[in-house]
Structure 1
Amino acid sequence: MQSQSRYNMYEVIHKALRARLSRTLVAIGQLDVDDEPSLRELEAEVATTLAMMRGHLASENAFVHTAMEARAPGSTRRIAEEHAHHEDDIDVLAAACATLVAAAPGEREPLAQRLYVMFDLFVQDNLTHMRHEEDHHNAVLWAMYSDAEILAIEQALVAALPPEKKALYLHAMLPAVPTRDRAKLLGGLRQALPPEAFAGLYASVLPLLDAPAQRHLAAALGEPVALADAA
C-alpha cells in the first residue's frame, strides 16, 4: 500500500496512462472497419497512445531507474526487463495497426479483432506493471530519497521533455485527475509562463473537461468562470 504522507511521482502520470490506454482500447472495440474516416482516426489514436507509452518508458529508464540504482543497486531489475518487453510490444502493436489500416475492406474485420485482443493484453500487462511500480518502486524511493529529492528527479524528467511531449502528457493528465491536481499542474504552469501564453494554454485544455469540472477548476485557480464556460 502507498504511503499517503510521501510524495508519489507516479500517481498523476499513471492515472493519465491508465485513462489513455482504456480510451484507446474502447476506440479499437468501437471501430467500424468500413468507415475510412474512423479508421484514420483510430490510426492516429493508437499512434499517439503508443508514443506516450514509449516516451514514458524512456523517461523512467533515464531518470527514475537511474536514481534508484544509484542508491539501491538491482532495485529496478524486474521493471527494467518489463520495459524491454513493452518496447517490443509497442512495435508489434504499431505493426498490427498498420496492417489493419493497409488492408482491403473485406480483410479488416479479423485484423481489427486481432488488434483488440493484442491491445487488451497490453493494457492488462501495463496495469499490473504500474501497480508494481507504485507499490515497490515507491518503497525504494521513499527509503532512499527525501520528498524534495524525489520532486527534483521528477522536475528533471519533465524539463527534459520537448514542448510537444509536455503538451501531450498534460492533455492526458488533466481529465484523469481531481480538481486539486488539475489546479496544481496548471498553477505551476501559470507561474512559469507569460500571462498570454498561460491564457492560451488554459483555453486549450478546457474542452477536455465537462462544464462542472471547468467551473471547479476555474474556482480553484481563481480564473474567471466565464472563461471556463466559454469552452
Structure 2
Amino acid sequence: MAPLRFNVFKQAHKGLRLLLNDTIQAIQQTDFSIPAEGNACIATIKTTLQLFHVHAGLEDQDIFPMVSQIAPAVVAHFEKEHEKDEALIMNLHKNFEQYELADSPAALLVAGNTLLHEFIAFTVFNLEHMSQEECLLNPFLWSQYTDDEILAVATAAVKKIPPAKNELFIPWMLKGNSDKEVAQWLQRVKESAPAPVYERLYTTAVQILEGSRMQHITAVMEG
C-alpha cells in the first residue's frame, strides 16, 4: 500500500469545519430578540467569514497556480467556486444590515432566523467545496510535486496571513485536528521555525486544548 501523501488542505480545512460547526451552534443558541445577544453573534459570524475569505485568498494566490498549467479547467472551476463563496459572504452582510434595521423584537427574531438559514447555506456550500478541493486538486499536486515542495509552498503561504488573523485561526486548527496531527505540526515548527514562533504555538496549544489532549500530544512528540 502506497504511503499517504501530504494533504496541503487538511489542517486548515479541519479547523474551518469545526469553526462552521461552532458558529452554527452560536447562532442557534442566540436570542436575536435581544439586540446585545444578536450583535455579539453577528460579530462572531463576521470573524468566521473573515477567516474563510483569508483562506480562499491563499488558495487563489499560492495553491491554484501550482496546477494551473496541467489542470486549467479544474482551477477555473474552483476560482468560480470562490466567487460564489464571496457572493454568499456579501449576502450575509446584507442580512446583518437587515438585523440592524429591525425595529421590534419580532422583526429582530425574523432577521435572526433568516441569518441562521443563510449561514447554513454558506456552511453547506463550503463543506462540499473543501471536500472537492481535497479530492480533485490533491492528485494533480501529487503528480507534479514532492511532499516537501508542497509543504514549502504551504509554509510560505501561511507567513502571508496577517498576524491578527493567524492568531484567530490557529486555535481552530489546534482543536480541529487529531492529537497526532497536532504533535506533527508542533514538531515541524520546532524543527524549522525560530524558537519564539514554536513557543507561541505551543503556549497556545496548552491554553486551548484539554489537559488530557496535551499530555497525549506531548507523549507523541517525545516518541
- TM-score band, normalised by the shorter chain? 0.7 to 0.9
> Which SS does the other structure have where 2:117 is aligned?
helix
Structure 2 residue 199 is matched with structure 1 residue 194: no
1:89 matched residue in structure 2: 88
Question: Any conservation in 2 of the 1:50–1:94 contact (CA below 8 Å)?
Answer: no
RMSD in angstroms over aligned alpha carbons?
2.1
Contact 1:43 1:101 in 2 (8 A): no
Whole-angstrom distance in 2 between the partners of 1:218 and 1:37: 41
Query: For residues 146 and 203 of structure 1, what CA distance do their matches in structure 2 show?
Result: 31
Q: Which residue of 2 aligns with 1:152?
A: 152
Task: Give the distance between the partners of 1:83 and 1:64, measured in 2 at CA.
Answer: 13
The equivalent residue for 1:180 is 180
Comparing 109-118 with 145-154, which one deviates more in the overlay?
145-154
Cα contact 2:12–2:173 (8 A) shared by 1: yes
User: 1:64 matched to which residue of 2?
Assistant: 63
**C-alpha distance in structure 1 between counterparts of 2:39 and 2:189, whole Å:** 33
SS in 1 for 2:68: helix
- Cα 1:198/1:11, change in 2 over 3 Å: closer
Equivalent residue number for residue 76 of structure 1: 75
Residue 26 (structure 1) shift: 1.4
Deviations 1:24-73 (A, max 9, x none): 11111111124444323312210110001111111100011111103433
Q: Give the C-alpha shift of residue 189 in structure 1.
A: 3.5
Letter in 2 for 1:177: N
State the partner residue of 1:140. Answer: 140
Distance 1:140 1:90 in 2: 29
Aligned 8 A contact 2:186 2:201 in 1: no
C-alpha distance in structure 2 between counterparts of 1:165 and 1:58, whole Å: 13
Distance 1:38 1:211, change over 3 A: farther
**Following the alignment from structure 1 to structure 2, what is the Cα–Cα distance between the partners of residues 200 and 160?**
18
Deviation at 1:200, TM superposition (A): 4.8
Match in the other structure for 2:203: 203
The code of the aligned residue for 1:158 comes to V
Native 8 Å contact 1:25 1:119 kept in 2 = yes
In 2: Cα distance, 1:155 partner to 1:65 partner: 15
The alpha-carbon deviation at position 167 of structure 1 amounts to 1.9
Alpha carbons 1:75, 1:140 under 8 Å: kept: no
TM-score, with normalisation over the residues of structure 1? 0.85
Q: Distance in 2 between the 1:4 and 1:126 partners?
A: 28
Q: Secondary structure at the match of 1:70?
A: coil
Aligned to 2:31: 32
Unaligned regions of 5+ residues in structure 2, if any? none
1:69–1:76 contact (8 Å) kept in structure 2:
yes
Q: Which amino acid aligns with 1:115?
A: L
Structure 1 segments (4+ residues) deviating >6 Å = none
Structure 2: how far apart are the matches of 1:124 and 1:201?
30
Contact 2:31 2:37 in 1 (8 A): yes
Contact preservation (8 Å) 1:93, 1:119: yes
Change (3 A) 1:190 1:97: farther
Q: Gaps spanning 5+ residues in structure 1: where?
A: 223-231
CA separation of 1:185 and 1:38: change in aligned 2, threshold 3 A: farther
Q: CA deviation at 1:199?
A: 4.1
